[in-house]
Amino acid sequence: MTRTIAIVVPVFNEAEGLQDFLAALNTVCDSISHEYSVTFRYVFVDDGSLDASFARLAAHDFGTRPARIIKLSRNFGKEAALSAGIDAAQDVDAAVLMDADLQHPPEMVREFVRIWLEGRADSVYAYKTTRHEAEGWARAGLSRAFFWVINRGARFRIPQNAGDFRLINRPFMDALRSLPESERFMKGLYGWIGFRQIGLPFTPAARLHGASRFTTLRILAITFDALTSFSTTPLRLMGIAGGVIAGASMLYGIYIIVERLLSSSPPSGIASLLALTAFFGGVQMIFLGLLGEYVGKAVTESKKRPAYIVAEDIDAGMNALRESPAPDTISDQC
């Protein structure tokens, strides 16, 4: 029995490298199709690109391979683009999620497919072997701290250094589509869903074109979204920190009283008291801000807005050929 696999690719300002990516992807998919009883189709989701990404995809000749090109009405973010691609690939047996910048090596798709066809996993994902060499020790350390916090006390586990590069089968896709939230952290959803998952190590290749849009500030924002979506550990840490600060303040107050009773010198330390007051005020503002993140997340989800809006949806390749009218039909209409 021939299985159908959709290659789901979110695209944002990747016009320069699309030709190289499509060439590499076609080569790998052709090779896998000859080796295994599978066929491939493409689903590209343009996430509000500001360059010619959508135009180049729409003009590309996909030959006989079915391809679907979706353009979102604006930039909704990678999580929404992935969700749109998964929704568009409803009638396939599995989907491979990957980026268009060739940092996700297309050659790994062969191993994904092999493990899935052997029935060993419902999801096969890739995880980075090392991060400190490419991203620096500071960012790698923050990444480890993030995964420690988000996995702390949870009934599910988000694999460390795992990303969106993975194969997911039909039941896994159906489970993702059934989740109602619009503000999505896909890496967390992959872990929350469960099923049988196998990880494979890989080292991301260097970008051939353009630059990553994931700046330090954007990564921090995504980290905050992830923590407030999938973990209550920050709230618990707030309670612990509040208890520690209250205990330290009580001990300091007792120390001041004892010092005043045993010493005849006038009380001093106005500067230290002002510093402590400013410190506690800052801590309170941080805690209120964190609480605001949770409240804001709840308000956003309560509005039930869709995760994305489609502006254009076109078929290319074999789908377009199948749906186009026959020549004799055109002549009859004329």
Domain boundaries, the chain: 3-212+306-333, 233-302
Over range 276-287, report the average pLDDT.
Answer: 76
How do residues 302-326 score in pLDDT, each as one tens digit? 778 888 999 999 988 665 544 444 4
Distance of CA 193 to the CA centre of its chain: 15
Over range 252-256, report the average pLDDT.
Answer: 74
Residue from 236, 253, 229, 246 nearest 287 by CA: 236
Q: What pLDDT shows up at residue 28?
A: 94
Q: What pLDDT shows up at residue 325?
A: 44
How many CB atoms neighbour CB 214 within 10 A?
10
Choosing among 3.40.50.300, 3.30.30.60, 3.90.550.10, 3.30.70.600, the CATH entry for 3-212+306-333 is: 3.90.550.10
Is the CB of residue 293 less than 8 Å from the CB of residue 230? no
177 pLDDT above the threshold of 60: yes
**Burial class of residue 120 in the structure, from the number of CB atoms within 10 Å of its CB (0-12 exposed, 13-18 middle, 19+ buried):** exposed
267 pLDDT above the threshold of 70: no
How do residues 210-230 score in pLDDT, each as one tens digit? 565 655 666 666 666 666 666
* CA 270/CA 286 separation, integer angstroms: 25
How do residues 29-67 score in pLDDT, each as one tens digit? 999 999 998 999 999 999 999 999 999 999 898 888 999
Most confident region among 79-93, 292-306, 307-321 by mean pLDDT: 79-93
Q: What pLDDT shows up at residue 226?
A: 67
Identify the residue with better confidence: 217 or 14: 14
Distance of CA 290 to the CA centre of its chain: 22
320: left (phi over 0), alpha (psi -120 to 50) or beta: alpha
